[in-house]
Structure 1
């Protein structure tokens, strides 16, 4: 036997063997493109839709509910890999439809592409049963109300097959009750790699129970039962008459069902209605549980999960996580359900605004019941003491007081400041504004009250399905740095450190970081531009300035900057080449305003539609886009922003045009550098202070006060809830302190 193995190893080609040179030369020839075999195509599609037994069951449950079922019975064997059976009492399937039941893209719910904009059912593509039939043995037994008997059919690779070799493949008449029973056996029998990837049957069964539990909570009027094959008892059982709270009690336990508060919110402008149940502060678990249904479809949303966790951060103790059930109904034309093979994710308009509205409603409900927290306590009756039994030692009998058990006190270096209202490090610094300004700021009820007025328009939101925008969004997701994103999402704002270098301090966990908020804001506003593309708010300019005047201001500033830079580099000897170059630069700066103005006016319809920057035919700048409510960009940067739209935006390609325009828009919105505030110090020679920092005028003081408030109350909260931190942002983060490390230093001292 050993000799046989050695011979096989000697003659077999080892893995990773380098190809001979002649084979390499041949392989460099272009290979012909051929159409894949339909069987291969179908198996690839099946692998995308049916990833695990839980996905197959999810599709079957949705089909059963779509068929009007009021009772679903689920039977599982070996985690669904050996057997997965669902029996319902719905409308059933007509005998004449059985031959094409498992063919791809055969459905009763969709007739034309436009129907996707008003789809109201779970399934619509007709791929679920087809995918299952390509990777499992599928049997369907069904009976309609008008049929005298039930019909049983067997499927393989989307086609009818005989139950046994030699028999007819046509559906057979059989006894059966009204409804449909679908049996899936030997799932992934012909995909051994996928089947070996599942670690244990119990783990897959737990995932199946999670899927059944989600739909059992949401589908009111439908009875669910799920059990293992061979077990006499059921793992999940909910009657059809049970309400939502009772369903949560039966599936998730009474501990959470007794601590639920209901909420409901509707907004006709955003086109949504949401209701649900959220656990109050008396209940928390080790991991967040969110049952999210959008238009009655169980989906997942990272943005919703993050927002809910932040909402509960001020109500739950450290390490506690919430339980929330959310039923969100959105107008169908605002929703895109066809973005994921398993329909696990959906896209909808105004996602951030809708999530914020829901979290605000949950926050208000939690605040109302926050005073009703319950604590279990036990006290002694007056006059009684607790003692140990008498013990006799060398000193005779004595009693030893019994100390009550106390919780272990945590070390202080493990404590984290999570309340933004407690004393900050900035309170120990000298005030940067006058006393009168501080009193006015304290008296103001709204820290962002800068005289800004907002109004809601009747403009219908655009549905953006451009491939270029989707590609740009995907590139941001691909460059995401998970750890940095979590750090920003869980940070606490400490304060501004250096307004000239644009550095701020934040705390995350027990660590203190300095971040370049200019770099972070540039990336954040670029992402906001991609998220709200085509649906920006507007900032009205009244009276509207002339576009050509703004461009001339920017051109003059650029010319002055070039001349200053040339002088600072040293006076060069005059020559004909230098004179010609200088004359050419002056001509460029002189002609640039007219050229850029003409280009923007010619493209004003596209710029208005996609970027909400409205330019009149006479060349007046009427509006600029609003990216973040409560934040006002520096309008002094507006002329330079407009001038850069000429040479720095690629108007020739769609994707590059959008990317470069949004980058310039993000640079305009990025907070500007401000001179450091000057303090009275007799030891400093005024002649050594730079001329531009010799004194702060009223405009700089006002802008500094405005920026301080907007950074704390608008920008950094927005970064915490919406920023996808990319890898390049690591260059703008420096860890300056670790609380544990500081304690070690103090211990040495």
Structure 2
């Protein structure tokens, strides 16, 4: 039979090339994958590396009530991974289905997931291992006269040698279970070749064993390499948590730990652990996190803890944190990750904030023994001096991160270069001190009075915000976070106000000087504060109440005076329309935003966003008027976002006129407001930015670097 020449035969286009209409093939039929393929895919998802197999085996051993675990590793676990425990063992009758998928003694119905209290629950660990390794199980229960040994392959019992029976065989053995995993990934060569070195895999195994050795009280752990005489990790059962950290990590960490304990009935959690104090500083964060006794990872908790410690540790310094978090099982979803590395739980943001606030408080209480290397650029000194902190410093007075040194540093061991000397005290000489006396925004002779406010505390309990729209707005803030700018604000030193009218201040971050539009930053900060405290605001209460309609009419008159005269707009209807809108929504305004309006149309309260800081009431009429056209009342998410933006704009410090030049009379009212503004910015706003601000990418427009000490030195070195 004659064949068509190659040029006339149809050919499929190369992969990745768009096919023409006449080249589209008929749809392929959908078929069920073979069971062996399904099992290997599942095994590849659950057992990614030897350390994941070991984690599952450790959890099974602890679930079995073991008080002693012995782990043997060869070639990073790829050649041999053996774990021996003294737990309750496995019944001989259960060994036939031991390695089948979804066989477990810890779960009966799907509803049991809502109250799971054990490590394992899905019955996939041994099944997955048996599909990608040679698995041997030797076990003995307390009522058995001997131990039983069985081999598994592909989830089923397999003979030890060809021609032999696959049934479990009697053998000598001690109470408990020994599981031996050999030739891991022998039938997945691509996965096996991906591992770079046995020592790297053993380091991961040692880290995982160390985590459980610290957490599992009353359980002895021993981990060693095959062929080594001594164990790499050996923790006795009687060791305390601090002693376990000393054995697994180091005495340098164990000697600098403070106990941590916190509980909250509202969110249904309690936590305890050990966290490093301010004398310890590592190169990377060591976070040992256990949620309901399961070792998990949480980037949200890690970032929050690092942010908390950034105020206390030197630049680049990281803490050691061991946290055991117990949450009501009904609030935790454990089945969200194939390797159970992550879990989801309710009120995550609120719980993290409570934990970090408590850690911050504890660090402040014990921060009495550090030594500081201090040097002020403006004082004219050339050599650093060492001073001992006698009392715990205020949060706003914590020294800049690059200047801190450990307490064991010796004076005069190394002289720092001048281009690394930075400002270390927020109370040091300010920019305004360099200006002529007549041009200063405030006179140093004026007394700094208190804010003059009286506060009442009520028994009202805080409410839990379960609104999806608010959670989405909070997540949007985190998604737009600029990490470097956030760190700069978290570690900055306030220098001084540059221009009150343009709302510009100077702050120092390390060896760099920045000009900041504090109006823009304050608007973003108060917006974030509004999202955090949504539904739980304090209140300013007016006595006597103010007429809402009169305030709106004043606001309309102010707005009209600023607009163009030829603007074709019916100003007479604005106050009436906005008044009707606010009156119709006054219940929602009172519940969510603490803005109370009486039935008679009187303004009773305003939301208190920051204690000790009073916004300019001169902006109140304009704020109320803008609530009409500038708030999206038709959409829930848009309403919350736009209202909080307007509230944040109301709280932004007002722009005041500059101080009079020499020869002009000074307005006492304006001078007083300038003094109050300076105190609020320096003592309230910038410390608040340092403690809680999540700097978003939009704030890059309001932050300009004007000087870099190292860059200036390079310039002058060329002169």
Establish whether TM, by shorter chain, passes 0.5: yes
Q: Output one character per residue of 1:212-238: Cα deviation in whole Å (capped at 9) or x when no partner.
A: 222212322111111123333211000
Residues 100 and 638 of structure 1: is their aligned pair in 2 closer, same or farther, counting only changes over 3 Å? farther
Equivalent runs, 1:424-503 vs 2, <5 Å: 424-429=430-435, 430=437, 431-435=440-444, 437=446, 439-441=447-449, 450-453=452-455, 455=457, 457=459, 459=461, 461-462=463-464, 464=466, 466=468, 468-503=469-504
Partner of 2:577: 592
Change (3 A) 1:363 1:93: farther
Deviations 1:350-397 (A, max 9, x none): 42233122222133123268779975989xxxxxxxxxxxxxxxxxxx
Equivalent residues of 2:106, 2:120 under 8 A apart: no
**1:251 maps to which residue?**
248
- Partner secondary structure for residue 310 of structure 2: helix
Counterpart mapping for 1:31-180 below 5 A: 50-93=47-90, 99=97, 103-104=101-102, 108=106, 116=114, 120-123=117-120, 140-147=137-144, 150=147, 159-160=155-156, 162=158, 176-180=173-177
Following the alignment from structure 2 to structure 1, what is the Cα–Cα distance between the partners of residues 716 and 192?
56
Task: Give 3-state SS (helix, strand or coil) of 1:524's partner.
Answer: helix
For residue 262 of structure 1, report the CA deviation from its aligned partner: 4.6
What is the CA distance between 1:592 and its match in structure 2? 1.8
What's the TM-score once normalised by structure 1's chain length?
Answer: 0.73
Query: Match for residue 20 of structure 2?
Result: 21
Q: Which has the higher helix share?
A: 1
Q: CA shift at 1:414, angstroms?
A: 1.8
Task: Give the Cα–Cα distance (whole angstroms) in 2 for the partners of residues 539 and 418 of structure 1.
Answer: 37
- Cα–Cα, structure 1 residues 19 and 266, in superposed 2: closer, same or farther, change >3 Å? closer
Quote the Cα distance in structure 2 between the aligned partners of 1:727 and 1:36: 47
CA deviation after TM superposition for structure 1 residue 646, in Å: 4.6
Asked if the contact 1:312–1:322 (Cα under 8 Å) also holds between the matched residues in 2, the reply is: no
1:204 matched to 2:205? The reply is no
Instruction: Decide whether the 8 Å contact of 2:66 with 2:88 is kept in 1.
Output: yes
Report deviation, 1:119: 5.7
CA distance in 2: counterparts of 1:518 and 1:65, whole angstroms: 56
Q: Which runs of 5+ in 2 are unaligned?
A: 1-5, 372-387, 390-405
Provide the secondary structure at the position in 1 that maps to 2:563: helix
Query: For 2:717 and 2:65, how far apart are their aligned partners in 1?
Result: 70
Secondary structure of 1:566's partner? coil
SS for the counterpart of 2:514 is strand
Q: Deviation at 1:185?
A: 4.7
Write the deviation string for residues 580-626 of structure 1: whole angstroms up to 9, x where unpaired: x43xx33651442244124413xx35x56655556666666665555
Identify which of 618, 640, 654 aligns with 1:673.
Answer: 654
Residues 421 and 293 (structure 1), Cα distance of their counterparts in 2 relative to 1, 3 Å cut: farther
What TM-score, normalized to structure 2?
Answer: 0.76
Does the C-alpha gap of structure 1 residues 713 and 17 become closer, same or farther in structure 2, counting only changes over 3 Å? Answer: same
* Secondary structure of 2:51's aligned partner: helix
Q: Which residue of 1 aligns with 2:366?
A: 365
Distance 2:534 2:188 in 1: 42
Q: Which residue of 1 aligns with 2:398?
A: none
- 8 Å contact kept, 2:309–2:360: no
Distance 1:108 1:660, change over 3 A: farther
Separation (CA, whole Å) in 1 of partners of 2:29 and 2:627: 44
CA RMSD of aligned residues (A): 4.7
Secondary structure in 1 matching 2:653: coil
- Could you tell me which of 694, 704, 714 is aligned with 1:724? 694
Question: How far apart are the structure 2 equivalents of 1:153 and 1:251?
Answer: 34
* 1:240 maps to 2:237: yes
What secondary structure, in the 3-state scheme, does the structure 2 residue paired with 1:85 have?
strand
Q: CA deviation at 1:667?
A: 3.6
Distance 2:604 2:168 in 1: 69
Tell whether the 8 Å contact from 1:538 to 1:625 is kept in structure 2 after alignment.
yes
Q: Counterpart of 1:561?
A: 559
Report if the CA contact (8 A) 1:334-1:463 is conserved.
no
Q: Give the drift of 1:505.
A: 1.8
SS of the equivalent of 1:515 reads strand
| Residue of structure 1 in register with 2:221 after alignment | 224
2: CA distance between counterparts of 1:435 and 1:184? 76
- Within a 5 Å distance, the mapping from 1:287-686 to structure 2 comes to 287-298=284-295, 299-300=297-298, 301-313=301-313, 321-327=318-324, 342-344=340-342, 347=348, 349-367=350-368, 407-429=413-435, 430=437, 431-435=440-444, 437=446, 439-441=447-449, 450-453=452-455, 455=457, 457=459, 459=461, 461-462=463-464, 464=466, 466=468, 468-533=469-534, 536-543=536-543, 545=545, 549-550=547-548, 553-554=551-552, 557-558=555-556, 560-562=558-560, 564-567=562-565, 581-582=568-569, 585-586=570-571, 588-601=573-586, 604=587, 611=593, 625-669=607-651, 671-682=652-663
Does the 8 Å CA contact 2:98/2:126 hold for their aligned counterparts?
Answer: no
1:210 deviates by 1.8
Output one character per residue of 1:648-700: Cα deviation in whole Å (capped at 9) or x when no partner. Answer: 4445555444444444444444x133213413423xxx7xxxxxxx97563x5
- CA distance in 1 between counterparts of 2:423 and 2:675 reads 25
Question: How far 1:726 sits from its partner (Å)?
Answer: 3.0
Indicate conservation of the 8 Å contact 2:516/2:703, yes or no: yes
Mapped partners of 1:349, 1:174: distance in 2: 55
CA displacement 1:26-81 (0-9 Å, x = unmatched) = 59x99999999998888777666655443443343334333322112222233334
- Write the distance in 2 (CA, Å) between the matches of 1:677 and 1:707: 13
Q: Is the 8 A contact 1:555 1:593 kept in 2?
A: no
Matched with 1:715 is: 685
